[in-house]
Structure 1
Amino acid sequence: MRWQRRVRERLAVLWPPSRWGLRVRSALVAAAVITVVLGFGATLMLWLLLRSMFDTVDSAAVARLDDIAAQLRTTPPETASAALFEPNGYVVIVEIVGRSGRVLRSSERSGSHPPLIPAAETVVGQSLCCDSDLRLSARRVDSPSGPVTVMVAGNTQPVEDAMGEVALALAIGTPVVVAVAAGATYALVGRSLLSVETIRSRVAGIGSTGLAERVPVPSARDEVARLAVTMNEMLGRIQAGHLAQRRFLSDASHELRSPLATVLSGLELARDHPGAFDTELAARTLLPEAERMRYLIDDLLMLAAADENGLTVPVTDVDLDDVAAIALEATRHPADVTLARQFNPVRVRGDARSLTRVARNLLGNAITHTTSIVTIRTVRTLSGAQLIVDDDGPGIPVSERERVFERFVRLQDDRGRDSGGAGLGLAIVAEIVAAHGGTVTIEDSPYGGARVLVKLPLPQA
């Protein structure tokens, strides 16, 4: 009708399927699935029940046939036992027909039933076309008075009544079961989503200043609990990244402030007292500070580029031993520090400039912390190429051997220029080595200090 169509149109506008929540969708899906399953199961059950009850009717008729046939083999139909012709249970009609088609013996009929006409000499469970409530079973028997046909009709009306009652019960019970299942699904999904809503509201309330907060983890170890654990781990990573960013900004500003202040002081001296400014001041003080600031800015730019797009290097054939030799020649060291070398020829695929920077950073770091000796070696092994730098300094504790590759990490508490630099050298080494597909680790040196081991893959043949 028109008003029903209008109601459906208004409901579609006010509550379209695209706005259905997970609870409604889950309930509808559960109802649809249960409806299909119950419909198929009910159909199959009714069919099997019908077959079983028809088999029961046919079995009763065949049993009566067996009893009558056993007596007719020795007794004429006229003198057969009257009890064999009495209707009882599923059997309602019994007839014996002679060869000419004349009915020789028949049970008393209740109601109007069509004549029993078999379609073959032996019939079991044949439905009569004129009376759907009867199923005919017949058999040809040789009696003392000649061959006769014994026919037994079973009544299927009780079967049909029972099937109707079962079908009615299923028709009433199925919607109830579907409704209960949909309601239970709606309630259970809503209860599960309550934990999700708690997590969502807690996350929505966490700001940049409250990253230490965590979402509640449900006691049940299910998917929602794993979601909460994952969310807490993500918040932990965000907090660690936020703290690292703040520490990075603080350290970078501190490292740039000292050389910049020195350069500004020199320039102010040149402006206010030109006579006191000479080339020795510029060469020994201002230029080293400017170079230190330039190197620091280059390092920061390289690390920022690596964070944004990943560090990429041009790939060519590089002799790692030549790279180490160039870095060693360019490295300055105190007179009381001995630099030892052992270069074995080994070739890798990578960028010579970046690998030279790796060697220089490792040498500079070792010289800063060593007592008397630093060695640099290149080794070729079956698994790849190795660049090894050893020193006899205080070494690096095992618990700190991964942290020292982070940015602005220095094991010394002070920030003096001679206590380890800006803390970016090993971070840059880690980035460059990773871009070459290698690894860098710290071990104990045979000299008692630290050993930095760089492993790079060999070129593929």
Structure 2
Amino acid sequence: MTAAVRRITQPWTARLGGVRVRSALAAAAVVACAVLVAGVGLLLATRATLTGNLDAAATQRAGQVVAALQADDPTRLAQTLQPAAGDRTAVQVLDSSGRVLDASPDLGTRPALTAARPAPGQTVTQQRLLSPDDEDEFRILATGAQTADGARVVVVGQSLRPVNESLEVIVRAALVGVPALALVVGLATYFFVGKSLRPVEAIRRRVSTITASDLRTRVPVPAARDEVAALAETMNAMLDRLDGAARTQRRFVADASHELRSPLATLQVGLELLEATDSGHGRQLRRMRGETARLSRIISDLLLLARADEHGLTVRHDDVDLDDLAYVERDRLHAEHPELRIESRIRPARVRGDAHQLDRVIRNLCDNAARYARQVVTLTVTVGPDGTDLRVDDDGPGIDEAERERVFDRFVRLDDSRTRSDGGSGLGLAIAHEIVASHGGRITAETSSSGGASLHVWLPPADL
């Protein structure tokens, strides 16, 4: 799966950044949604309250008009129909047929405001525009009343502009306040989550420095007795177990390798004596001697790796002519592999290090190349301003890009084309990696110009 496909298939929350960003966005979104829901509820409640107040005022005004009609007091009726300053209340008095008998002065000769004709003692409420030209809706309340002159309908209209203006104020405040509140909550969450995650980041940095060769480091435990502290204590307990298991394993490898050397030496001496007696089994004896020599090399390699894991490699810092070591290994390859063409491009190169260990690096790389080469092995030594480069190339099957890191692990076996049964133990490149790392250099696997493997060693300059 490519990186692009992985990004597409990941949940959208995983592509928003770290925990701090996601927590801040989630908190801001939750607050914004909660405030929006509360705002809608506030708008509905405010509208209902304000509309109820209008209905109460209209009911009170209608009651006053009905009282004036029933008292048959024209002066009192005129005062009741007269609106107060700034009041947008319209009042009409209708007969049973809907004819306007009396009205507020600002209505003039406007026809009846409603077609409702409630019976005496009944009330009808409507909400409508008084005319197509009006911008504001009115809340219309029609009340039936019985007077000495017959049935009358008192119509009271209250403008909804104050209600709408109040709701607009709330909406404008929400449009400004909700984003501001969400931003403040998001920033505060980002800050506090970041502060809470500092111990986690400290644990991550410490864990990134722990390697399989050094499991003695422990992660810091925060002072606060919370989930992060429990995680740190659990990780330290796990590291204790891993360290103990690794120590046991290294001790076993070192002890077993050490104990095997004596019986192996006895076997080698015995085979040499048998071969000297010319017992007629010379071919089998030579084969057995070759296998015991291989077993001896494997044991030596295991001992070296065990010492490297336990205490690290002890490196001498002498002036070493790397080109001289390369010439020696080139001549050895000529003698041991006459079927191969050994090419070399060796320049004078001096480095600081351990000559014996560096010779072992070149020998392991050359043996690896000779094992898999078809016709040609190329040994190159060059010197640049930033250090010395050593390359050993072959024209064999090469190493897949996905395996170029793993090839330096111990006992690694690649595909069938690179696992021929002609002597490889899977430790040579691992030992070369340990030695190069102890010299402050690096080793990588690449592709040679002929399509095979190219093992590249870089060592720092001698004056560093």
Shorter-normalised TM-score: what interval?
A: 0.3 to 0.5
Task: State the TM-score, normalizing by the size of structure 2.
Answer: 0.47
Task: State the TM-score, normalizing by the size of structure 1.
Answer: 0.48
